[in-house]
């Protein structure tokens, strides 16, 4: 009989890396829209503004997450950015995230907090640096 727990457990570190890569790619898009106007659909912002700072954190932090480089400190900073974004932008509109459209900020906040604790996983620059 196949033990599903032990079968899936060996893939867990790799799925951590896959999650980090996907989240990094998705997060980069937010910064890309703010700073570069790409992908289309977002509004470019002034670099020397709060939205510009968030764009720099999102694009640069997304790249760090994608590569798995300096993952723990980057994720900690990005988690804080998303907490600030939620309370500064979304919570002022309504109490519940589903009402104030802040679900994504909350999810990003806690995913980044998880990466700050768990690290990047084996498919990362951090893992390569640890081996060498």
pLDDT in tens, the chain (132 residues): 566 667 778 899 999 999 999 999 999 999 999 999 988 887 888 989 999 999 999 999 999 999 999 999 999 999 999 999 999 999 999 999 999 999 999 999 999 999 999 999 999 999 999 986
- The model's pTM: 0.90
Residue 124's SS3 state is coil
Q: Mean pLDDT in the chain?
A: 93
Q: For residues 21 and 69, what is the distance between their CA atoms, to the nearest angstrom? A: 11
Give the number of residues written for the chain: 132
Q: For residues 24 and 75, what is the distance between their CA atoms, to the nearest angstrom? A: 10
Q: For residues 126 and 132, what is the distance between their CA atoms, to the nearest angstrom? A: 10
Task: Indicate the burial class of 52 (C-beta count within 10 angstroms; 0-12, 13-18, 19 or more).
Answer: middle
């Amino acid at each position: 009989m196949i033990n599903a727990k032990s079968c899936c457990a060996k893939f867990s570190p790799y799925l951590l890396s896959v999650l980090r890569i996907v989240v990094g790619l998705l997060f980069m898009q937010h910064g890309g829209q703010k700073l570069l106007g790409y992908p289309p659909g977002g509004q470019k912002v002034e670099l020397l503004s709060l939205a510009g700072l968030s764009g720099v954190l999102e694009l640069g932090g997304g790249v760090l997450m994608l590569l798995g480089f300096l993952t723990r400190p980057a994720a900690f900073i990005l988690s804080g950015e998303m907490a600030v974004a939620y309370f500064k932008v979304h919570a002022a509109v309504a109490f519940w995230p589903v009402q104030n459209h802040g679900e994504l900020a909350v999810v990003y906040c806690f995913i980044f907090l998880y990466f700050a604790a768990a690290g990047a996983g084996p498919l990362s620059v951090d893992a390569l640096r640890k081996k060498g």
